[in-house]
Amino acid sequence: MPPSTVLVTGAAGFLGWHIQIRLRALTDHVVRTVDQHNWHELPQLVADADAVIHLAGINRASDDELRDGNRRLAERLVQAAEQANATPRPIYANSIQAGNETPYGDGKAAAAHVLHEAATRWGTPFVDVMLPNLFGEHGRPGYNSFVATFVERAITGDHPDIQDRDIKLLHAQRAAQCFMDALEGPTRIERPEGTPTSVSAVWQRLLAFREIYEHGRIPPLPTDFDVELFNTYRAALFPARYPLQLTLNSDPRGWLVETTRWSGGEGQTFVSSTHPGITRGEHFHLRKIERFVVVGGQGRIRLRKAATDQTVQFDVDGANPVAIDMPIGWIHNITNTGDSEMVTQFWVNELFDPADPDTFWEPVDPQEAAQ
């Protein structure tokens, strides 16, 4: 579809970030964002928007606020659009709990009704996305998902109170794709399916990740769900638990270091040399696990969380090999900061596919990105 202007409310939240980075990776749409700091600018921001992805909502509050607050947010969005004489396509982040006779479910259903009525007046399609339980990178423990809470407990070594039940979980990037798909087509209800699992199974997977990954090894990842859960786990470790220290073995012949050990699956390893002062990278991924290990010379690895100015850097030296695994949605590069050749080994967990490279070019330097 041709580029359009997409307004995202609640863009500073967990799902908002995932939608932003997927839109910037896979489309040429102009993305505008609304959060609590610039909500007063909503009439100006919505004025020429082709679509509004409405994520802003209230999840933790009194019963009355849950029941009425989500409806009021939808009403404010509609009022701002009509004040600006705008008729955008509303796409709503609803919940499978809508209409379940709880305060939260009633509030979500009421908000959907407000947006559907407005779209009918405007003559634009309305897409109601009924989301199951979400998880993914950078979720807030105790707020966005029990998965985020379990990840935090696995890292700290605390055992959560587990009330086991069967559950379906949808990764935030898969949810983001549903909203992108909703930018086209007629009025409809979308019900994306999550992966069937259980609360206790998620905890056991996270414990297995911790046991293997604390030694720098990559755990078995037999399914896409395992990859998504592992990416969620390692994102919570970043940057405090990096770099991963590797063991350098030396004898009279020289030295040897094992840079990556994976317990199963396909993968690809390659080695590059980089001249002094040269930078490689300047891209991010939406699903790949990628590891950098400098084994000769000196370098600096820099990362920036996409759609933000948050940056992290690591100075690395081949005399003391360490591993840095690139988090999903973080733009990264590596620069030779020494006066001789830098030799770097790269490993990714999937073979390169030119038709689906999962590599999206953007500079780490936020000033360059803004140009």
Decide if 309 is inside a domain: yes
In sequence order, what are the beta bridge partners of 292? 324, 346
**Is residue 197 domain-shared with residue 277, that is, in the same domain?**
no
**Is residue 162 domain-shared with residue 90, that is, in the same domain?**
yes
**Is residue 256 domain-shared with residue 144, that is, in the same domain?**
no
**Is residue 23 domain-shared with residue 113, that is, in the same domain?**
yes
**CA dist 301 → 199, 287, 358 (Å):** 36, 20, 20
Residue 346 sits in a domain whose CATH number is: 2.60.120.10
**CA dist 279 → 61, 249, 290, 320, 369 (Å):** 48, 29, 17, 21, 16
Domain boundary among 178, 202, 226: 202
The domain in which residue 36 lies consists of: 5-202
Decide if 195 is inside a domain: yes
Q: Which helix (H) or strand (E) holds 161?
A: none
Name the region of 3 (left: φ>0; alpha: ψ -120 to 50; beta: rest).
beta
Would the pTM count as exceeding 0.85?
yes
**Is residue 9 domain-shared with residue 68, that is, in the same domain?**
yes
pLDDT attached to residue 265: 75
**Is residue 197 domain-shared with residue 252, that is, in the same domain?**
no
Residue 185 sits in a domain whose CATH number is: 3.40.50.720
pLDDT attached to residue 292: 98
Decide if 215 is inside a domain: no
Cis peptide upstream of residue 222 (ω within 30 degrees of 0): no
pLDDT attached to residue 371: 63
Domain boundary among 176, 202, 228: 202
**Is residue 52 domain-shared with residue 151, that is, in the same domain?**
yes
**Is residue 13 domain-shared with residue 150, that is, in the same domain?**
yes
**Is residue 268 domain-shared with residue 152, that is, in the same domain?**
no
Decide if 222 is inside a domain: no
Decide if 238 is inside a domain: no
Q: Compute the chain's Rg from CA coordinates.
A: 23
Decide if 55 is inside a domain: yes
Number of domains in the chain: 2
In sequence order, what are the beta bridge partners of 227? none
pLDDT attached to residue 196: 98
Residue 39 neighbours by CB under 8 Å, 6+ apart? 56, 76
**Is residue 258 domain-shared with residue 320, that is, in the same domain?**
yes
**CA dist 174 → 2, 15, 147, 324, 350 (Å):** 22, 10, 16, 26, 19
**Is residue 174 domain-shared with residue 248, that is, in the same domain?**
no
Decide if 227 is inside a domain: no
Decide if 211 is inside a domain: no
Domain boundary among 202, 219, 234: 202
**Is residue 197 domain-shared with residue 257, that is, in the same domain?**
no
pLDDT attached to residue 99: 87
pLDDT attached to residue 314: 98
pLDDT attached to residue 370: 66
Mean pLDDT by 10 residues, the chain (371 residues): 90 97 97 94 97 94 90 97 98 95 94 98 98 97 95 96 96 98 98 98 98 94 97 98 92 85 85 96 97 97 97 97 98 97 95 94 86 63
